[in-house]
A and B are shown apart, each in its own frame.
Chain A
Amino acid sequence: MSARQVPKQRYLAPKEAASFRQVLKLYETHQYKKALKVADTILKKYPEHGETLAMKGLIMTFTDQRAEGHELIKLGLRNDISSFICWHVYGLFNRTEKNYEEAAKCYQHALKYDPENGNILRDLALLQVQMRNLDGFISSRKQILSQRPEIRQNWTALAIGYALVKDYALAESILQKYEDAMIEAAKPDDIEHSELLLFKNWIIHQSGDVKRALEDLEKIADVVLDKLCVLEYRALYLLELGRSEEAARAYRKLINRNPDCKAYFEGLEKALKVTDDVPKRKALYAALAKQYKRSNVAKWNPLVFLTGQEFKEAVSEYLSGFLARGVPSAFVNLKPLYTDDSKVQAIEEFALKYLSTLTGVASNGSSSTSNGAKDTAEATPTTYLWTVFYLAQHYSKIGKQDVAMEYVEKAIAHTPTLVEAYMVKAKILKRSGDLQAAADTMNQAREIDLQDRFVNSKAGKYYMRANKNDEAVSTISLFTKNDGAGKGVGDLHEMQCIWFVTEQGEMFARQDKIGMALKRFHSVKKIVDDWWTDQFDFHQYATRQGTARTYIDLIRWEDSLYSQPFYTRAAEDAIKTYLSLHDTPKSARVAAELAGLSEEERKRVMKKLKRDRAKENKKLEAEKLSEKDDDPLGKNLENTTKPLEDAMVFYKPIKDLEAWKWLGEEIEKRKNAPVEAKTEATA
């Protein structure tokens, strides 16, 4: 570019122009201190130079001078509004601020002044897919591809774009064109090439042309490195094409590789068309269970479709095996069957009968194996233990907490060292409504095995359910680093431990510590928001590594992120809290407490309230999430003047979900309510 084309405000003498190029280079190699020095030498001579100011600002944002950097970036842009560098810099800044919409606008401005700039186009494409502006993404990737068609990932990226909008024909043709144009043959261990072939095959299948997908699969099968995937795709395609015998063979091969994968068994059932034919289905599983003795799926699946006497026999065999071997998770395995009352009945009958054969090892150390009954010859004390343990969980599940308690006490009397027994006892107490006793019992379980983090977490949770924050925090802090502020609470935030943050928020809400509760609910949202932004790195990574199929899975998972219970639960909590803040503002709550008191009493109550609160607040100050946390009690959140707008922040990500429409209606109802009515009501 010759000097005469350069606008006046951008002109630099040759020496400074060289310095500027140096700044860019130093920035790219992360040598920020040096870069700043060089930038300052330019600014000595050209203090108004926009591009240098912008670069200096950008670098400052990397050296802990964010605010000043931001100002310089803006100043630079003002001084040279037609510079693509200034716009790119501002875009980068917005991107680090996670303000993706603004960033995309900046990039588009930058491209106006330098339409062929590949770096900016690529950055723009990343933002577009992050914001799910897929049309924009496709058009950017098209441009990039036309500039650099020799790079494989440019083809993959465009094909991904088409796949994301479900235009499979175009996606396939892009990949086909690349293959046709490929000059060098791929090396045998080229994983990217292998993934690309599978991606194309997946696309053909997605397009609905199963026959061609199968043909393609056979063509690439030898080259593809992911052999398991070929087997799985083949089995599925054969099944969909109605080539049952071959499909059955393919699924048997898969089961042989992994006899604990449910999907393979389902595939085999479909291929053999036995799903609606109980006798055949039963025979199939009997054979499979015999062949794969260690497979739980082969034993478990029949429990779902068998009924009546056949179920009784099957479940007896299944459960007695578990009880004799002492598998603590026996109940967890059978729990899904508890939606069927007749099955529950059958299980109960069997377990009670089984228990009655175990009297020899039941009581505390009385008789030896002299019972004589055949069944007891092999029974050991732990068989008895796990059987009463099972019954305790069984009765608790079906709502008979008293009976459940009898059985769990039997287990504890028999073996007072079994952690699991105390845990079940705690659960029974919780279900009976005695939250304090439940927490104490869970803590007893914890004390038997201090290194078990699962029971430690449970104890923490049970304490929170009993509104015991101190106990909860000191318990869970036994497993956290605790070198920052706020003991384990800060650590668990950093570790994105959603269950803990949610439980604590709900506890604070029950205790009417509104600020603290809101603070936790916001933390949950922040964690989920972080997961949403975390995908940013993968937009680039996936095309570089060629892992397109996994990437598309990730994108679809991210799309469902906010509909998952870990978010919706906290969102519901937060919205309800904000609604109650709207319905009963703080002043009204205080007024209600003082209503009907004499002046003197009122003073006394206020004084006591103040004292209590100061005490409480001091304690909660210890709950700072980090050194920078300047509102550990969430006062700013609680003192909001616009609770409905705040509620909307939580509602927005779930507004299109049918199940949560009612929450939106609750907010709307209040928004539309005439203000006068409210003031009258509280007056």
Chain B
Amino acid sequence: MPSNYRISLDDLTPNNLGVLQRINSVVLPTSYSDKWYKESLTVGELAKLAFFNEVPVGAIRCALETSKESSKIYIMTLAVLAAYRRYGIGRKLVEHILEYAKSSQVKEVYCHVWVENEEAMAWYAHQGFERGEFLKGYYRKMEPAGDAYIFRKVIE
């Protein structure tokens, strides 16, 4: 397919933090605190913005969880503006994280998905994530509380 669009990733900086805020607030049902956004500036490669023809349209923000046995990367938010889906932007963001995990010896990348969100579950499966534990009432703030599945990908 002749591509008449370019997708590129860029770092999150104090100057474009407003973009992450705007994308998350439009796409995701949960809202995040200012503190959370400020912390996003400290996670380095684990937060990225995606651009479609130079316009910022997607973002990922993860956290590194380290324990004695192993370390994992947890995808906290992944969002792409509705009009820009099916162009491989989400995949590119997740691929970036998977590559980063591999290069820094992280064994697992995982996230939570609301059980009603069929589209997201199918999407993660398509990216090679495996469905894991069922977490009853994980989304406590939902009315009624929402259940979640864990989706994980083990890094070889």
A positions within 8 Å CB-CB of B: 324, 326, 361-365, 368, 378, 380-382, 384-385, 414-418, 447-451
Contact = CB atoms under 8 A, between A and B. Distances in A.
Nearest to B80: A365
Contacts, number: 72
Contacts of B87: 380-381
Contacts of A326: 53-55
A415 B55 contact: yes
Given A365-B84, A380-B53, A415-B55, A324 B4 contact: yes
Interface string B99-127: 00000000000000000000000000000
Given A364-B82, A365-B84, A415-B83, A382 B18 contact: no
A236 to B, nearest CB: 41
Given A326-B53, A381-B52, A382-B52, A414 B15 contact: no
Given A382-B5, A382-B55, A361 B15 contact: no
Given A326-B53, A417-B19, 15 more contacts: A361-B83, A364-B83, A365-B86, A378-B4, A380-B5, A381-B57, A414-B81, A415-B83, A416-B81, A417-B23, A417-B55, A448-B16, A448-B22, A450-B15, A451-B13
A451 B11 CA distance: 14
A363 B2 CA distance: 23
Contacts of A449: 15-16, 18-19
Interface residues of B, number: 26
A597 B106 CA distance: 80
Nearest to B84: A381
B144 interface: no
A16 B131 CA distance: 102
Contacts of B29: none
Contact of B18 (A364, A378, A448): A448
B15 A417 contact: no
Q: Which of B15, B19, B55, B81 has the most A CB atoms < 10 Å from its CB?
A: B55
B85 interface: yes
Interface in B1-27: 2, 4-5, 13-19, 22-23, 26
Given A378-B4, A380-B5, A417-B56, A448 B83 contact: no
Contacts of A382: 5, 52-53, 55
A365 B83 contact: yes
Contacts of B14: 450
Nearest to A381: B83
Contacts of A414: 81, 83
Contacts of B86: 365, 368
Binding site of A, secondary structure by majority: helix, strand, loop or mixed?
Answer: loop
A451 B14 CA distance: 9
Given A385-B55, A449-B15, A450-B16, A417 B5 contact: no
Nearest to A418: B55
Contacts of B81: 364-365, 414-417
B60 to A, nearest CB: 15
A368 B53 CA distance: 18
Given A380-B4, A417-B22, A450-B16, A365 B85 contact: yes
Contacts of A363: 83
14 contacts: A363-B83, A364-B81, A365-B86, A378-B2, A380-B4, A380-B52, A382-B53, A384-B83, A415-B84, A417-B56, A417-B57, A417-B81, A448-B19, A449-B16
A418 B56 CA distance: 7
Q: Which of A362, A414, A416, A417 has the most B CB atoms < 10 Å from its CB?
A: A417
A449 B16 CA distance: 5
B15 A416 contact: no
Contacts of A385: 55, 83
User: Nearest 10 CB-CB pairs, A to B?
Assistant: A365-B82, A364-B82, A451-B15, A450-B15, A382-B53, A447-B18, A381-B83, A417-B56, A448-B18, A365-B85
Contacts of A451: 13, 15-16
A382 B52 CA distance: 8
A365 B87 CA distance: 10
Interface in B37-52: 52
Nearest to A420: B55
Nearest to B26: A416
A555 B5 CA distance: 50
Interface string B56-90: 11000000000000000000000001111111000
A319 to B, nearest CB: 17
B4 to A, nearest CB: 5
Nearest to B3: A380
A51 B19 CA distance: 70
Contacts of B22: 416-417, 448
Contacts of A368: 86
